[in-house]
Amino acid sequence: MSISRYLGLTLNTEYDLRPEERPEIARLPIFSDMDETLRDSIFSASLLQAFPRQLVLFEVGQRADFLHILVDGLVELFTSNGDRDTSMVIVTPGHSFILAAAITDMPYLMAARTLSTSRILLVPAPLLRDTIEQDGALNRATMHELAWDYREMVRALTDMKLRQSTERLANHLLLQSRRLGGADCFQLRGEKRLLASLLGMTPENLSRAFGALAQHGIRVDGLTISITDRKAMEGFARPDPFFD
């Protein structure tokens, strides 16, 4: 199911940004410091859409007509080669996606699908490009987001090339924990098969890797992860101070 077909069927989920929704979206990092007038003109030209889960938003190769900003929900960016595909990035609320394609007016290199019901702000790419040139704060925010995305890819590629799968999993779990303020117990968001794909391994192997981490201070119950021995985990994962 492609977005264009979807749009044709259910236009009711698409509407201009309502006045009462603007403050919430204006607080997103990419817009928070910019000129209010320009921000309003962006908002007036943008659409906020609600999408059901498991909907493919766009495919590789399409022209990037809109910058996408995830307001609510969860989105997966993925690539494919022949009959295989792999998850590249999980986009969390408050972040834009496919910024690089929208900026350069080039085709998407990754496809996107919703993982859960999601609300997405669609900003026309030409308007974004114009406004970026007029507003220093938006410019800076965009550049930073792009640079951040780049660094995330460098991290992922290094991870893939230099670590083996169980180490990648261990570091991923430590990173999740840190993002939650160092929580020792947290839930995986999304299915395990998704995590496997993100980490570049098969679901079978992920399952075995979780098993192996039991000896290094991890306990798993369904989607609930508990770090029972953080020292042991860090000893095994050897997180890089700059990356992880």
Partner DNA sequence: GAGATGATTTGATCTGGGTCAAATCGTGAG
Partner DNA sequence: CTCACGATTTGACCCAGATCAAATCATCTC
Indicate whether 164 belongs to the interface with DNA (CB under 7 A): yes
* Residue 133 binds: one of DNA, its own copies, none (C-beta under 5 to 8 A by kind): its own copies
* 166 touching DNA, by CB under 7 A: yes
Could you tell which of DNA, its own copies, none binds residue 13, using a CB distance below 5 to 8 A set by kind? none
Give the list of residues 6+ apart from residue 188 with CB closer than 8 angstroms, or none.
Answer: 176, 195, 223, 224, 225
User: Within a 10 A sphere around the Cβ of 145, how many other Cβ atoms?
Assistant: 17
- 41 makes contact, choosing from DNA, its own copies, none, with CB < 5 to 8 Å by partner type, with none
Least Cβ distance, residue 91 to its own copies (angstroms) = 14
Which of 80, 86, 202, 228 is in the footprint of DNA by CB under 7 A? Answer: 202
Phi, psi of 50, deg, nearest 5? -105, 135
Per CB under 7 A, 83 contacts DNA: no
Q: Is 202 in contact with 211 (CB distance < 8 Å)? A: no
The one of DNA, its own copies, none whose footprint includes residue 7, by CB under 5 to 8 A per kind, is: none
131 binds, among its own copies, DNA, none (CB under 5 to 8 A by kind): none
Given 111, 138, 206, 237, the residue binding DNA (CB under 7 A): 206
* Smaller CB separation from DNA, 32 or 202: 202
Least Å distance, CB 132 to DNA, is 39
